[in-house]
Amino acid sequence: MAEEPIERAKNRGYKLLADAEAALEAGQIDEAGWHQRGMAVITRAYLAGDNPRSQSGHSGDEAYWRQARSLVAEAMDRDGAFLDVGCASGHLMECVQQWAGEQGRRVEPYGLDIAPELAALARSRLPQWAERIWVGNAIDWVPPQRFDFVRTGLEYVPRRRQPDLVRRLLQEVVAPGGRLIIGSGSEEKDQTRIGPSLEEEVFSWGFGIGGSLRRPHYHDARLEYRVFWIEA
């Protein structure tokens, strides 16, 4: 059997993102249209999921989920408030609290999602946290408080706005002395990758990298899971 194309292996939504980026650069859509395209497809797909993992965009079982996502909890060095940007079903919120607890740390989770339907799903699944799950676009959302740890992906905004997303989260959302955690995504291994890693790219934007973690991919030897963080 032929190997899955590397871009699809890294991100199953890569074609959607590539098409939206091309349309944005060609002036066929504006940034609002870019977000609308993504929400229309992702919301429908996530709501069709039959478990909290698939409702957060993950196709594997619980062991696969933990292998891919628990690096987020390992990037936390103390107790604190944790905001998951793009929380979808809220499953990472509850898992990070559990995983951090296994390491002796107390984490209070919060969530933000751009799609009202996904925020509503998270609230229905996690009624004890319903008041701490918000709807908004992280690029301009005004938080009711600041958070010791904020996790985000960069694919949540157009490529040209990614430095702005990092800057705004650090300046307006992460608490002083806190951490902005980026990941955990699938990336090609250093020895086979052509071009900079995501961490190297963020560093080139002028942000100092405070640390990073990596772990073998669950089923693709070409890839590994990575998180890195910036100290606020």
Helices (H), the chain: 6-10, 14-25, 31-47, 62-69, 71-74, 91-102, 116-125, 162-168, 198-204
Is residue 157 within 8 Å of 165, Cβ to Cβ? yes
What lies within 8 Å, CB to CB, of 113 at 6+ separation is: 86, 87, 88, 119, 122, 133, 134, 135
> Would you list the domain boundaries of the chain?
6-231
- Mean pLDDT check: name the lowest of 18-22, 126-130, 170-174: 18-22
**Cβ contact 26:33 at 8 Å:** no
| Strands 80-85 and 107-113, bridge-based pairing | parallel
- What pLDDT was estimated at residue 1? 42
For tokens 């997303």, what's the residue?
165
Q: Residue 34 is encoded by which pair of tokens?
A: 């870019």
Residues 34-87 pLDDT 10s: 999 999 989 999 999 999 999 999 988 999 999 999 999 999 999 999 999 999
Q: Two tokens at 56?
A: 């957060």
Q: Please give the CATH topology (third level) of the domain spanning 6-231.
A: Rossmann fold (3.40.50)
